[in-house]
A = this chain, B = another copy of it.
């Protein structure tokens, strides 16, 4: 009996779920064809139909991570002046789901830094994210919500602040509950406001 497109898509989804569970439990360091096969209850041989090499598997996992991050439900900013805050908070591990996704992002920096092609892809992702923040900063400055300054530098600083907060929160969730993460970002945003504090 011929395999249908539906079969193929269903199998692809199963593979993606298995890759995600391996990443969640062991990070990229534990991502091997063997581990994904075990998670699927399949043979490593079967997996090689999907991924010829370990690098293919890692590249697939990075795409999956990006897709799941884009698909994550996001809070919508109530108005334009809240857009920068919502964008920054959207990065943080404020929920269990966002913590899993962030833990996998942080873990992805190891294989990405070890491979020129994957490193370029990551650099592009972070540059795109900074560009979005830069546009929000420039809009905030035009409205008078934010102090003057190079919007690209302010965006790079804001991205640095949330990325570093992610790392600290993942290692010490008890010291960085969601409430404190939000308060720290709000303090950072106040420092960007045009009025003397």
Which A residues fall within an 8 A CB radius of B?
25-30, 103, 106-114, 119, 122-123, 126-127, 130, 147, 149, 153, 156-157, 159-168, 170-172, 175-176, 180, 183-184, 187-188, 191-192, 195-197
Contacts and interface: CB of A to CB of B under 8 A. Distances in A.
Given A161-B161, A187-B157, A27 B168 contact: no
Contacts of A184: 153, 156-157, 160
Contacts of A114: 25-27, 29-30, 107
Contacts of A165: 156-157, 160, 164
B110 A28 contact: yes
A79 B165 CA distance: 29
Which of A149, A153, A165, A192 counts the most B-chain CB atoms under 10 A from its CB? A165
A114 B106 CA distance: 11
B109 A153 contact: no
A29 B61 CA distance: 15
B171 A163 contact: no
Given A153-B184, A157-B161, A109 B112 contact: no
12 contacts: A28-B29, A29-B111, A103-B113, A108-B110, A110-B111, A123-B172, A127-B172, A153-B184, A157-B161, A157-B184, A160-B162, A191-B192
B107 A109 contact: yes
A30 B58 CA distance: 13
A183 B152 CA distance: 13
A-B CB proximity, top 7 nearest: A196-B196, A163-B164, A160-B164, A164-B164, A191-B191, A110-B110, A160-B165
